[in-house]
Amino acid sequence: MSTANIKTDLIGRKASAYAPASTGNVSVGFDLLGAALIRVDQKPLGDTVHVEFAEQDQLINSGEFAHVCPPDKNQNLAWIAYSLFKNKLTNPEQFPAVKMELVKSLPVGSGLGSSACSVVASLTALNRLFDFPYTDQELLVLMGEVEAGASGDLHYDNVAPSYFGGLQLMSPHQDTPVINLPNPDSWYWVVAFPGFSLPTKEAREVLPKQVDKSVAIDNAQYLAAFVAYLYQGEQTLAAKTIKDVIAEPYRADLIAGFKTSKQYLLAQDALAVGISGAGPTLFALTTDLTKAQQYKEYLEQNYILADKGFVHICQCATLGAKDIQVG
Ligand code: HSE
C-alpha cells in the first residue's frame, strides 16, 4: 500500500488523554519532588487533549481557561509538544495532519502544574494516536523539553507526577529517571489558588544562584528524613518534616496573604503548609477531613483575591495520564 493510502486510512482515528494537576516541590524537594492531585469529590482538576488524524493541521482551545492560551498555535504548548513529537519520529511522512483540541481547565501560572498538564495530556494523547512510537521514558524526556521551554529550566517535578501519577522523586540515574514513592494516602491536600498568576520564570528569578552550606545540609536532612518516614509508613511524621529552605523564603513575599494564612493554618494543627510549585497556590496538609473542610472555608474567605480563585480538597492521585482512560 502506498504512503498516501496509509495516510488516508488513518484519517478519522482519534485519541484523548487527561493529565491531572500536580504540586511541584512539595516544599521539601525543590525541583526534585512532585505529587499528582485528585479532588476528593472526584471532579476533574487537570487538562484534557483530544487528537485526531485529519486532512489539515488545526488547534482548537476550549475549556474555562481557553482565553489565556496563545491564539498563535506555534506559541501554544500543546502544539509545540506536537511539533517536537512529530519531528523526532523516524517516519513522520507516513502520518496525516493532526487536529488537536486542548481543553484548558487549569489556570496558567497557578503553581498546579498547568503547563505540564497541557504538555503531558498532549503527548500522551499523541502517543496513543500514533500507536505508541515512544517509550514512557522517551515521552518523559520530550515532556521535560517542552516544559523547560515554558518555565526557563529543565525540571520534571510536574510532568513526571502528571504522567505517572503518585508522588514522584527524580532520580539521578537516566535509565530510571523517577522513583515512585509510597503514596501518602492518609493526607488531604487543601490547595488554594488565589486567582492571580505568578509565572514560574518570575518566581525562579528571585531565587539565589547559590546557597550556604548550612542550607544545603538542612535541605538534604529534611528531604532524606521525609523519604525515610514515608518508607517506614510514618505519614504524619513525613508531613511534619516538610520544610522549604530553598524557595519559600524568597517567594513568600511575592504571594499576597501567604505568610498570614500559613501562620493561621499551622496554629490550627495543619501538618504542613507550603507553596505549591512556584506559587501562588498554597497547600495545607492534614489527615483529618473535617479540618480540611475548615481550612478550605478559611482559605476561601481569606486567600482568594480574584474571581477565578478556588480551593479544593485533594489527595495524591494514584493514576496519571499514562493510565487514565478518557471517555
Ligand atoms: N520546581 C519548580 C519551581 C516548579 O519551583 O520553580 C514549577 O512548577
Domain boundaries, the chain: 3-181, 188-316
- Is the CB of residue 49 less than 8 Å from the CB of residue 63? no
**How many Cα atoms within 13 Å fall on the side-chain side of residue 11?**
11
Distance 292 CA to ligand 1 centre (A): 25
Tell the CATH topology of 3-181.
Ribosomal Protein S5; domain 2 (3.30.230)
Tell me how far apart the alpha carbons of residues 318 and 305 are, in angstroms, rounded to a whole number: 31
Smallest CA separation from ligand 1 atom 8, residue: 277
Tell me how far apart the alpha carbons of residues 124 and 15 are, in angstroms, rounded to a whole number: 9
116 labelled ligand-binding:
yes
The CB density around residue 203, as the number of other CB atoms within 10 Å, is 22
The three cell numbers locating residue 101: 483540541
**One-letter amino acid of 192:** A
140 labelled ligand-binding:
no
Specify the pLDDT at position 46. Answer: 97
Which ligand 1 atom sits closest to the C-alpha of 113?
8
110 labelled ligand-binding:
yes
Per-residue pLDDT of the chain (327 residues; tens, 9 = 90+): 566 676 788 899 999 999 999 999 999 999 999 999 999 999 999 999 999 999 999 999 999 989 888 888 899 999 999 999 999 999 999 999 999 999 999 998 899 999 999 999 999 999 999 999 999 999 999 999 998 877 667 788 999 999 999 999 999 887 778 999 999 999 999 999 999 999 888 999 999 999 999 999 999 999 999 999 999 999 999 999 999 999 999 999 999 999 999 999 999 999 999 999 999 999 999 999 999 999 999 999 999 987 889 999 999 999 999 999 997
- Is the CB of residue 125 less than 8 Å from the CB of residue 49? yes
107: closest CA among 143, 69, 73, 136?
Answer: 69
Distance 34 CA to ligand 1 centre (A): 9
Rounded to two decimals, the pTM is 0.94
**One-letter amino acid of 80:** I
Distance 91 CA to ligand 1 centre (A): 35
Which ligand 1 atom sits closest to the C-alpha of 115?
8
109 labelled ligand-binding:
yes
The three cell numbers locating residue 261: 494564612
Smallest CA separation from ligand 1 atom 6, residue: 278
158: closest CA among 205, 192, 109?
Answer: 109
Which ligand 1 atom sits closest to the C-alpha of 247?
5
DSSP string for residues in 238-296 = HHHT---SSSHHHHGGGSTTHHHHHHHHHHTT-SEEEE-TTSS-EEEEES-HHHHHHHH
Is residue 202 in contact with ligand 1, taking CB distance under 6 Å? Answer: no
Specify the pLDDT at position 7. Answer: 79
Tell me how far apart the alpha carbons of residues 118 and 113 are, in angstroms, rounded to a whole number: 9
Which residue do the cell numbers 488513518 mark?
A: 10
Tell me how far apart the alpha carbons of residues 237 and 233 are, in angstroms, rounded to a whole number: 9
The three cell numbers locating residue 6: 496509509
Residue 311's DSSP bridge partners are 192
Is residue 157 in contact with ligand 1, taking CB distance under 6 Å? Answer: yes
36: closest CA among 318, 327, 257, 308?
Answer: 318
Is residue 88 in contact with ligand 1, taking CB distance under 6 Å? Answer: no
182 labelled ligand-binding:
no
The CB density around residue 318, as the number of other CB atoms within 10 Å, is 12
Tell me how far apart the alpha carbons of residues 23 and 221 are, in angstroms, rounded to a whole number: 21
Class of domain 188-316: alpha beta
Q: Per residue in 89-124, pLDDT tens?
A: 999 999 999 999 999 999 988 999 999 999 999 999
